[in-house]
Amino acid sequence: MTAATTTSPVIKSKFQSIILAFRPKTLTASLVPCLAATALAATSTSTADMKFQWWIFVYALIASFFIQIGTNLVNDAMDFKKGADTSERIGPQRITQAGVLTSMQVLGLATLFFIGAVLLGIPLVNEGGQPIIIIGILSVMMGYGYTAGPYPLAYRGLGDLFVILFFGLAAVMGLFFLHTKMWTMDSFLLGLQIGLHATVLIAINNLRDIDGDAKVNKRTLAVRLGIQGAKKEIYFLCLAPFVLQIYWALQGRWVAAVLPLIALPLAIKIMKNVKNTAPSSQYNQFLGQSAGLHLLFGVLLSIGFIL
Residues 6+ apart with CB under 8 A from 133: 125
The helix or strand, by DSSP H or E, that contains position 78, with its residue range, turns out to be helix 54-81
- Say whether pLDDT at 145 is over 90: no
Residue 188 has a pLDDT of: 97
- Distance between CA atoms of residues 22 and 102, nearest Å: 15
- Say whether pLDDT at 51 is over 70: no
CA distance to 46, 60, 238, per residue, from 183 (Å): 12, 17, 26
- Say whether pLDDT at 272 is over 90: yes
pTM of the predicted model as reported, rounded to 2 decimal places: 0.87
Question: Do the beta carbons of residue 187 and residue 136 sit within 8 Å?
Answer: no
How far the first Cα of the chain sits from its last, in Å, is 57
Residue 253 has a pLDDT of: 93
According to DSSP, residue 168 is labeled: I
Return the closest-CA partner of residue 192 out of 230, 147, 248, 136.
248
Name the residue type at position 154: A
Return the closest-CA partner of residue 37 out of 242, 143, 182, 244.
182
Q: How would residue 4 be classed by pLDDT, with cut points 50, 70 and 90?
A: very low
Question: Do the beta carbons of residue 34 and residue 57 sit within 8 Å?
Answer: yes
- Distance between CA atoms of residues 154 and 143, nearest Å: 11
Q: How many CB atoms lie within 10 A of CB 162?
A: 19
- Say whether pLDDT at 5 is over 50: no
**Does residue 99 come out as left (phi exceeding 0), alpha (psi in the -120 to 50 range) or beta?**
left
